[in-house]
Structure 1
Amino acid sequence: MAAPSPKHDVFQAIADPTRRSLLRLLEEQELPVTVISSHYPISRTAVSKHLRILTEAGLVKERKVGRETRYRMEPEPLLELKRWLDHYERFWENKLAALKRFVEE
């Protein structure tokens, strides 16, 4: 039986700047929502919604510690994004090579 597909994909999840910031915050450490919320000028409820979207996309994992839920980044799903960007990198390389030729002429 195949695993159910996530409610949100990686591209949707990282489209929001707050969620990208949350990923940066969680890349080095596991934190509870109370600590995470202290880094943002939005409500704890709003932070929880962002964390839920990141969790549904597989970019954040949650773990219960007593009565507290702690969150940490899960980088594996970002490989999908990297593969997609790698495909288009050749266009950037071509543009940079053309710019270099133009500047050197």
Structure 2
Amino acid sequence: MLIETPERDTASLFAALGDPTRLSLLTKLSDGQSRSIAGLSAGTDLTRQAVTKHLRVLEEAGLVISSKVGRESQFAFRPEPIDDIRAYLDSVSQQWDDALSRLRTFVKR
């Protein structure tokens, strides 16, 4: 059994965001409007099955949430995981800044 850790959770977010199709779906959903699979696949070359597969990955990563409306599933963007990624990247950036500062101090001696 895998134990969820913040690093594993962050990795799953990056993995979900690492696909251009999933990024495109998130872009469509980021306007705050929930959409059905049919609505998300309209005007694209993607099949409903492909859109469903990508939405499931995004949902497992916590980036979208689904709800049933009649016989359809509606998908909506969840911005909180993006905030988590931003905080993680800020932390990594600070670590690099600190390391470079220590290196700069060492080289100037």
Task: Report if TM-score (shorter chain) is over 0.5.
Answer: yes
Of the three residues 47, 50, 54, the one matched with 1:46 is: 50
Residue 45 of structure 1 and its aligned partner are, at CA, apart by: 0.6
Match of 1:20 among 23, 26, 51: 23
Deviation at 1:13, TM superposition (A): 0.5
Q: Distance in 1 between matches of 2:91 and 2:47?
A: 38
Gaps of 5+ in 2: 101-109
Q: Deviations over 1:46-86 (max 9, x none)?
A: 11100000000010000100101000000111122101221
Summarize deviations over 1:3-52 as a string: whole Å, max 9, x none. Answer: x857x821111010111111110112100000101142121111110000
Greater than 3 Å deviation, 4+ residue runs: 88-92
Alpha-carbon distance between aligned partners in 1 of 2:29 and 2:84, rounded to the nearest angstrom: 19
Work out the CA distance in 2 between the residues paired with 1:59 and 1:39. Answer: 23
More helix by share: 2
How many pairs were matched up?
A: 89
Structure 2 match to 1:83? 87
Q: Distance in 2 between matches of 1:87 and 1:65?
A: 40
SS in 2 for 1:62: strand
